[in-house]
Amino acid sequence: MSPTQRSLKHLRDQGYMAEVVERWVPRVNIRKDLFGVIDILALPEDGTPVYVQTTTGSNRAARRTKMLDCEALPRMQAKGRVLLHAWRKNTKNRWVLTEEEVRA
């Protein structure tokens, strides 16, 4: 299961409506995130958007830096939340989520 799939399950288990917003670009064989940084758009019951970048624990710092450099970050934060989900295995070999709110 990929970090994106883990985050989708986690968000849906918490009652969010959540969908992947990255897309595959076939001619260049790359994935393109929404605004260059967002993998998942999630909506809680109150409808306030939650924008999620998901990654592995080892890539957390690089993804945070990328998010902070994104010019769309202040606009996303104006009416919603921006989260970084980092997944890593603990000493019991179980996946653990570190969730961090990213602020400009």
Count structural domains, the chain: 1
Helices (H), 3-81: 3-13, 60-68, 73-79
Tens of pLDDT, residues 31-53: 899 999 999 999 999 999 999 99
Provide the residue range defining the domain that includes 83.
3-101
* pTM of the full structure: 0.93
Helix (H, G, I), strand (E, B) or coil at 7: helix
Tens of pLDDT, residues 4-13: 999 999 999 9
Pairing of strands 23-25, 30-32: antiparallel
Beta carbons within 10 angstroms of residue 43's beta carbon:
16
CATH code of the domain in which 66 resides: 3.40.1350
pLDDT score of 104 more than 90: no
Name the phi and psi angles at 44, rounded to 5: -80, 180
pLDDT score of 24 more than 90: no
